[in-house]
Chain A
Amino acid sequence: AQKITQTQPGMFVQEKEAVTLDCTYDTSDPSYGLFWYKQPSSGEMIFLIYQGSYDQQNATEGRYSLNFQKARKSANLVISASQLGDSAMYFCAILGTYKYIFGTGTRLKVLA
Protein backbone atom coordinates (compact mmCIF):
# COMPACT_ATOMS: atom_id res chain seq x y z
CA ALA A 1 0.00 0.00 0.00
CA GLN A 2 1.13 3.52 -0.72
CA LYS A 3 1.54 6.19 1.93
CA ILE A 4 2.45 9.87 2.03
CA THR A 5 3.88 11.63 5.09
CA GLN A 6 4.07 15.39 5.51
CA THR A 7 5.64 16.12 8.87
CA GLN A 8 5.35 19.92 8.87
CA PRO A 9 1.84 20.99 9.86
CA GLY A 10 2.77 24.67 9.45
CA MET A 11 5.60 26.76 8.05
CA PHE A 12 6.46 30.44 7.93
CA VAL A 13 8.64 32.10 5.32
CA GLN A 14 9.62 35.68 4.69
CA GLU A 15 8.47 37.17 1.41
CA LYS A 16 11.05 36.75 -1.40
CA GLU A 17 12.83 33.91 0.38
CA ALA A 18 12.82 30.26 -0.62
CA VAL A 19 11.04 27.55 1.36
CA THR A 20 11.12 23.76 1.29
CA LEU A 21 8.06 21.67 2.13
CA ASP A 22 8.84 18.10 3.07
CA CYS A 23 7.19 14.97 1.70
CA THR A 24 8.20 11.35 2.17
CA TYR A 25 6.45 8.43 0.62
CA ASP A 26 6.21 4.69 0.81
CA THR A 27 5.36 2.43 -2.08
CA SER A 28 6.31 -0.99 -3.37
CA ASP A 29 5.50 -0.12 -6.98
CA PRO A 30 8.58 0.14 -9.22
CA SER A 31 6.90 2.91 -11.22
CA TYR A 32 4.98 5.72 -9.58
CA GLY A 33 4.10 9.38 -9.83
CA LEU A 34 4.30 12.13 -7.24
CA PHE A 35 2.25 15.32 -7.30
CA TRP A 36 2.03 18.55 -5.36
CA TYR A 37 -1.17 20.55 -5.05
CA LYS A 38 -1.89 23.96 -3.55
CA GLN A 39 -5.13 24.67 -1.71
CA PRO A 40 -5.84 28.37 -1.00
CA SER A 41 -8.36 29.33 1.65
CA SER A 42 -11.06 29.39 -1.03
CA GLY A 43 -10.83 25.59 -1.18
CA GLU A 44 -9.96 24.63 -4.74
CA MET A 45 -7.04 22.29 -5.34
CA ILE A 46 -4.48 23.62 -7.82
CA PHE A 47 -2.03 21.26 -9.48
CA LEU A 48 1.56 22.53 -9.16
CA ILE A 49 4.10 19.96 -10.25
CA TYR A 50 4.60 16.30 -11.11
CA GLN A 51 7.58 13.93 -10.77
CA GLY A 52 7.73 10.48 -12.29
CA SER A 53 9.79 7.86 -10.55
CA TYR A 54 11.90 7.22 -13.65
CA ASP A 55 12.41 10.86 -14.56
CA GLN A 56 16.12 11.57 -14.71
CA GLN A 57 15.83 15.20 -13.72
CA ASN A 58 14.00 16.94 -10.93
CA ALA A 59 10.79 18.57 -12.11
CA THR A 60 10.53 22.36 -12.29
CA GLU A 61 7.57 24.63 -13.03
CA GLY A 62 8.32 28.31 -12.75
CA ARG A 63 9.07 29.08 -9.10
CA TYR A 64 8.28 25.51 -8.08
CA SER A 65 10.82 22.72 -8.14
CA LEU A 66 10.78 19.24 -6.76
CA ASN A 67 13.78 17.91 -4.88
CA PHE A 68 13.37 14.21 -5.67
CA GLN A 69 15.58 11.79 -3.76
CA LYS A 70 14.46 8.34 -4.78
CA ALA A 71 16.72 6.37 -2.45
CA ARG A 72 15.42 8.34 0.52
CA LYS A 73 11.84 8.24 -0.79
CA SER A 74 11.43 11.96 -0.49
CA ALA A 75 9.87 14.47 -2.86
CA ASN A 76 10.23 17.90 -1.28
CA LEU A 77 8.67 20.95 -2.88
CA VAL A 78 10.86 24.03 -3.14
CA ILE A 79 9.20 27.41 -3.69
CA SER A 80 11.64 30.12 -4.67
CA ALA A 81 11.10 33.86 -4.17
CA SER A 82 7.99 33.41 -2.01
CA GLN A 83 5.06 35.70 -2.61
CA LEU A 84 2.18 36.64 -0.33
CA GLY A 85 -0.14 34.74 -2.65
CA ASP A 86 1.76 31.52 -1.88
CA SER A 87 0.10 31.40 1.55
CA ALA A 88 -2.01 28.23 1.38
CA MET A 89 -2.16 24.55 2.26
CA TYR A 90 0.15 22.34 0.23
CA PHE A 91 -0.52 18.65 -0.33
CA CYS A 92 1.80 15.97 -1.59
CA ALA A 93 0.18 12.99 -3.30
CA ILE A 94 1.26 9.70 -4.80
CA LEU A 95 -0.46 7.86 -7.56
CA GLY A 96 -1.87 4.66 -6.15
CA THR A 97 -4.01 1.97 -7.69
CA TYR A 98 -6.79 3.88 -9.45
CA LYS A 99 -6.53 6.75 -6.99
CA TYR A 100 -4.37 9.42 -5.49
CA ILE A 101 -3.21 9.14 -1.89
CA PHE A 102 -2.76 12.48 -0.21
CA GLY A 103 -0.70 13.56 2.77
CA THR A 104 -2.16 15.63 5.59
CA GLY A 105 -0.77 18.85 4.17
CA THR A 106 1.47 21.72 5.24
CA ARG A 107 0.05 25.19 5.88
CA LEU A 108 2.44 27.82 4.54
CA LYS A 109 2.25 31.42 5.66
CA VAL A 110 4.29 34.02 3.78
CA LEU A 111 5.19 37.04 5.89
CA ALA A 112 5.49 40.54 4.45
Chain B
Amino acid sequence: DGGITQSPKYLFRKEGQNVTLSCEQNLNHDAMYWYRQDPGQGLRLIYYSQIVNDFQKGDIAEGYSVSREKKESFPLTVTSAQKNPTAFYLCASSMFLVGTGGNQPQHFGDGTRLSIL
Protein backbone atom coordinates (compact mmCIF):
# COMPACT_ATOMS: atom_id res chain seq x y z
CA ASP B 1 0.00 0.00 0.00
CA GLY B 2 1.21 3.50 -0.81
CA GLY B 3 1.61 5.95 1.98
CA ILE B 4 3.83 8.03 4.21
CA THR B 5 5.91 6.50 6.96
CA GLN B 6 7.19 8.57 9.83
CA SER B 7 9.62 7.27 12.42
CA PRO B 8 10.05 7.06 15.27
CA LYS B 9 6.57 7.41 16.72
CA TYR B 10 7.99 8.82 19.96
CA LEU B 11 11.30 10.64 20.40
CA PHE B 12 13.03 12.18 23.37
CA ARG B 13 15.65 14.88 23.16
CA LYS B 14 18.24 15.91 25.68
CA GLU B 15 19.29 19.52 26.13
CA GLY B 16 21.75 20.62 23.44
CA GLN B 17 21.08 17.62 21.26
CA ASN B 18 20.04 17.50 17.62
CA VAL B 19 17.49 14.88 16.65
CA THR B 20 16.27 13.78 13.22
CA LEU B 21 12.74 12.75 12.34
CA SER B 22 12.34 10.45 9.38
CA CYS B 23 9.69 10.79 6.65
CA GLU B 24 9.45 8.42 3.69
CA GLN B 25 6.75 8.27 1.02
CA ASN B 26 6.10 5.76 -1.76
CA LEU B 27 3.33 7.73 -3.43
CA ASN B 28 5.66 9.15 -6.09
CA HIS B 29 4.72 12.63 -4.93
CA ASP B 30 6.91 15.56 -5.87
CA ALA B 31 6.07 17.83 -2.95
CA MET B 32 6.67 17.15 0.73
CA TYR B 33 5.99 19.18 3.86
CA TRP B 34 6.72 19.29 7.58
CA TYR B 35 4.20 20.64 10.06
CA ARG B 36 4.33 21.22 13.79
CA GLN B 37 1.24 20.81 15.95
CA ASP B 38 0.96 22.15 19.50
CA PRO B 39 -1.95 21.38 21.84
CA GLY B 40 -5.01 23.44 21.03
CA GLN B 41 -3.47 24.81 17.86
CA GLY B 42 -3.66 24.04 14.21
CA LEU B 43 -0.79 22.85 12.09
CA ARG B 44 2.01 25.27 11.31
CA LEU B 45 4.32 24.82 8.34
CA ILE B 46 8.02 24.36 9.09
CA TYR B 47 9.52 23.54 5.68
CA TYR B 48 8.36 22.36 2.30
CA SER B 49 10.02 20.92 -0.77
CA GLN B 50 8.78 20.98 -4.34
CA ILE B 51 11.50 18.84 -5.90
CA VAL B 52 14.67 16.98 -5.00
CA ASN B 53 17.50 19.17 -3.73
CA ASP B 54 15.18 22.12 -3.23
CA PHE B 55 13.31 23.22 -0.13
CA GLN B 56 11.83 26.41 1.27
CA LYS B 57 11.20 27.77 4.75
CA GLY B 58 7.68 27.81 6.03
CA ASP B 59 6.26 29.96 8.81
CA ILE B 60 8.31 28.59 11.73
CA ALA B 61 11.61 27.33 10.27
CA GLU B 62 13.92 28.71 12.96
CA GLY B 63 15.69 25.92 14.83
CA TYR B 64 14.91 23.31 12.19
CA SER B 65 16.70 22.01 9.10
CA VAL B 66 15.75 19.63 6.29
CA SER B 67 17.24 17.87 3.30
CA ARG B 68 15.73 16.40 0.14
CA GLU B 69 18.33 14.18 -1.44
CA LYS B 70 15.79 11.65 -2.69
CA LYS B 71 12.25 12.09 -3.94
CA GLU B 72 10.97 9.61 -1.36
CA SER B 73 12.65 11.09 1.69
CA PHE B 74 12.36 14.39 3.56
CA PRO B 75 14.01 14.16 7.00
CA LEU B 76 13.61 16.94 9.55
CA THR B 77 16.34 17.80 12.05
CA VAL B 78 15.35 19.58 15.23
CA THR B 79 18.47 21.42 16.28
CA SER B 80 19.55 22.59 19.72
CA ALA B 81 18.63 26.10 18.58
CA GLN B 82 14.95 25.14 18.79
CA LYS B 83 14.28 26.05 22.42
CA ASN B 84 10.77 24.66 22.63
CA PRO B 85 10.75 21.50 20.50
CA THR B 86 8.09 19.56 22.44
CA ALA B 87 5.30 19.05 19.91
CA PHE B 88 3.68 16.63 17.49
CA TYR B 89 5.35 16.64 14.06
CA LEU B 90 3.51 15.67 10.91
CA CYS B 91 4.98 15.00 7.50
CA ALA B 92 2.82 15.33 4.39
CA SER B 93 3.10 14.98 0.65
CA SER B 94 1.13 15.97 -2.43
CA MET B 95 1.45 15.16 -6.10
CA PHE B 96 2.43 18.71 -6.95
CA LEU B 97 3.26 21.65 -4.77
CA VAL B 98 -0.09 22.92 -3.61
CA GLY B 99 -1.12 26.08 -5.40
CA THR B 100 0.78 25.24 -8.58
CA GLY B 101 -1.55 22.82 -10.28
CA GLY B 102 -4.86 21.52 -9.10
CA ASN B 103 -6.28 21.41 -5.64
CA GLN B 104 -5.23 17.97 -4.61
CA PRO B 105 -5.24 17.14 -0.89
CA GLN B 106 -2.13 16.49 1.13
CA HIS B 107 -1.48 12.99 2.44
CA PHE B 108 -0.16 12.76 5.99
CA GLY B 109 1.95 10.34 7.97
CA ASP B 110 1.07 9.17 11.48
CA GLY B 111 3.30 11.73 13.15
CA THR B 112 6.21 11.79 15.60
CA ARG B 113 5.75 13.01 19.15
CA LEU B 114 8.89 14.77 20.39
CA SER B 115 9.51 15.47 24.06
CA ILE B 116 12.35 16.97 26.07
CA LEU B 117 14.10 14.91 28.72
Residues of A with Cβ closer than 8 Å to B? 4, 9, 33, 35, 37, 42-47, 50, 52, 91, 95-100, 102-105
Contacts and interface: CB of A to CB of B under 8 A. Distances in A.
B42 A95 contact: no
Interface of B: 33, 40-45, 48, 50, 56, 58, 88, 90, 92, 97-100, 103, 105-111, 113
Given A35-B105, A45-B92, A96-B99, A102 B42 contact: yes
Given A45-B90, A104-B41, A104-B42, A99 B48 contact: yes
Contacts of B92: 45
14 contacts: A9-B40, A42-B110, A45-B90, A46-B108, A97-B99, A98-B50, A98-B97, A99-B33, A100-B43, A100-B45, A100-B98, A102-B42, A102-B43, A104-B42
A33 B103 contact: yes
B42 to A, nearest CB: 4
B58 A50 contact: no
Contacts of A97: 99
